[in-house]
Amino acid sequence: MTIPTLQVEDLETHFPTRDGIVRAVDGVSFDVAEGEILGLVGESGSGKSITGFSILGLIDPPGRIAGGRVLFKGEDITSASPERMRSLRGSRIAMIFQDPMMTLNPVLRVDTQMIETVQAHEKVSEAAARARAVETLKAVGIAAPEERLLAYPHQLSGGMRQRIAIATALLHSPDLIIADEPTTALDVTIQGQILYEMRKLCRDTGTALIWITHDLSVVAGLADRIMVMYAGKIVETGPVATVIERPQHPYTRGLIGSVPGVLPRGKRLFQIPGMTPAPLNLPPGCRFKTRCSRADTLCDTLPELVELHPNHSVRCHHPHDARPLTPTESAA
Q: Which residues bind other proteins (CB under 8 A)?
A: 43-44, 143, 157-160, 187-193, 195-196, 199, 214-218, 220-221, 240-241, 243-245, 254-263, 265-266, 268-272, 275-276
- Cα dist from 281 to 26, 67, 128, 290, 291, whole Å: 14, 21, 54, 12, 14
In angstroms, what is the minimal distance from the CB of 80 to other proteins? 35
In angstroms, what is the minimal distance from the CB of 63 to other proteins? 22
Nearer to other proteins, 110 or 218 (CB): 218
Burial of 258 (0-12, 13-18, 19+ CB in 10 A): middle
Burial of 142 (0-12, 13-18, 19+ CB in 10 A): buried
Nearer to other proteins, 95 or 186 (CB): 186
Identify which of 117, 165, 116, 167 has the alpha carbon closest to the alpha carbon of residue 141: 167
Identify which of 23, 104, 85, 86 has the alpha carbon closest to the alpha carbon of residue 277: 23
Nearer to other proteins, 92 or 291 (CB): 291
In angstroms, what is the minimal distance from the CB of 114 to other proteins? 20
Check if the beta carbon of residue 180 is closer than 8 Å to that of residue 49. Answer: yes
Alpha helices in 68-157 (DSSP H): 82-88, 110-121, 126-139, 145-149
Backbone angles phi, psi at 282, to 5 degrees: -75, 140
Check if the beta carbon of residue 218 is closer than 8 Å to that of residue 225. Answer: no
The identity of residue 103, as a single letter, is: T
Radius of gyration (C-alpha) of the chain in whole angstroms: 21
Secondary structure (3-state) at 91? coil
In angstroms, what is the minimal distance from the CB of 239 to other proteins? 8
In angstroms, what is the minimal distance from the CB of 202 to other proteins? 12
Check if the beta carbon of residue 93 is closer than 8 Å to that of residue 172. Answer: no
In angstroms, what is the minimal distance from the CB of 307 to other proteins? 20
Nearer to other proteins, 78 or 313 (CB): 313
Identify which of 163, 180, 246 has the alpha carbon closest to the alpha carbon of residue 218: 180
In angstroms, what is the minimal distance from the CB of 76 to other proteins? 34
Nearer to other proteins, 119 or 290 (CB): 290
Nearer to other proteins, 17 or 157 (CB): 157
Nearer to other proteins, 189 or 328 (CB): 189
Tell me the pairing of strands 208-213 and 20-32. Answer: unpaired
In angstroms, what is the minimal distance from the CB of 198 to other proteins? 12
Nearer to other proteins, 129 or 149 (CB): 149
Give the whole-angstrom CA distance, residue 31 versus residue 36. Answer: 10
Nearer to other proteins, 105 or 196 (CB): 196
In angstroms, what is the minimal distance from the CB of 155 to other proteins? 11
